[in-house]
Amino acid sequence: MRTSYHEELDSILDSLVHMAGLVEVAIRDASESLLSADLGLAESVISKDIELDRMHEEMEYKCLSLLALQAPVAGELRTIVSAIRVVFELARMGDLAAHVAKIARLRYPATAVPERFEAGFREMASIAIEIIDLARLSMAARDVKGAHRLAEIDSRMDELRREQFTLMLSEDSDISIEGAVDVALLGRYFERFADHAVAVGRRVIYIMTGQVPEGEDWPNA
């Protein structure tokens, strides 16, 4: 009975790694659709977000069932409770990728990103792909060091967000209201995407060590 139970726990973690891989594809395709005005890719990201939502519901139900039926303790309890949180973070990241794709679709056949902001968004997209890839690998390898690195990567995303506002508010800025709204929303989506990846990393650290990362303040559950 306990062998089967531990196999279920391993299955949950494997499913989280798989889900993170789907999120990585989603943000990569959403970014490409945004920067190249690719309507087909945008539509694909939006439609596939339904699959991530389905996985969220299924995995949450599976975790809650284990809590109710197996009375987990110690590390097992940390794993299950953390998995519930991680699957939420991943589902939200999928939503944010879909939001990026929706703006790309809205502005098609034009490109939603004004030319002056293109380089910044290309870097944001690169960081988003890097950070979800590292989050996925950290979960797969139970890698605490990799999980800690997520916050370092996120700091550059925050810098880019501030640079965008500086550029928008500069005296020589000629961005339209529509363009400013798009830039503000897109910047927020990428920033929040990275924040959720960092939250995944915190949960990996908690699962492996039982300790809250230094400088963070969130409940054990």
Identify the CATH assignment for 2-209 out of 3.30.70.270, 1.20.58.220, 1.10.150.130, 3.30.300.210.
Answer: 1.20.58.220
Q: What is the pLDDT of residue 220?
A: 42
End-to-end CA distance of the chain: 26
Q: Furthest-apart CA pair in the chain: how many Å? A: 69
Token pair belonging to 38: 């690719």
CA–CA separation, 16 vs 20, rounded Å? 6
The answer to whether 161 and 187 have CB atoms below 8 angstroms apart is yes
Which H/E stretch holds residue 115? none
Confidence (pTM) = 0.91
- Residue 184 has a CB neighbour count (10 Å cut-off) of 14
Q: Show me where the domains of the chain are located.
A: 2-209
The answer to whether 124 and 190 have CB atoms below 8 angstroms apart is yes
8-34: b or e for each residue (b if 16 or more CB lie within 10 Å)?
bbeebbebbeebbebbbbbbbbbbbbb
pLDDT of 1 higher than 50: no
pLDDT per residue as tens digits for the range 8-46: 888 899 999 999 999 999 999 999 999 999 999 999 999
Token pair belonging to 143: 């890698």
CA-angle at 134, arms to 66 and 164, nearest 5°: 115
Phi, psi of 148 (to 5 degrees): -65, -35
CA-angle at 191, arms to 174 and 90, nearest 5°: 145
pLDDT per residue as tens digits for the range 32-86: 999 999 999 999 999 999 999 999 999 999 999 888 877 777 778 888 999 999 9
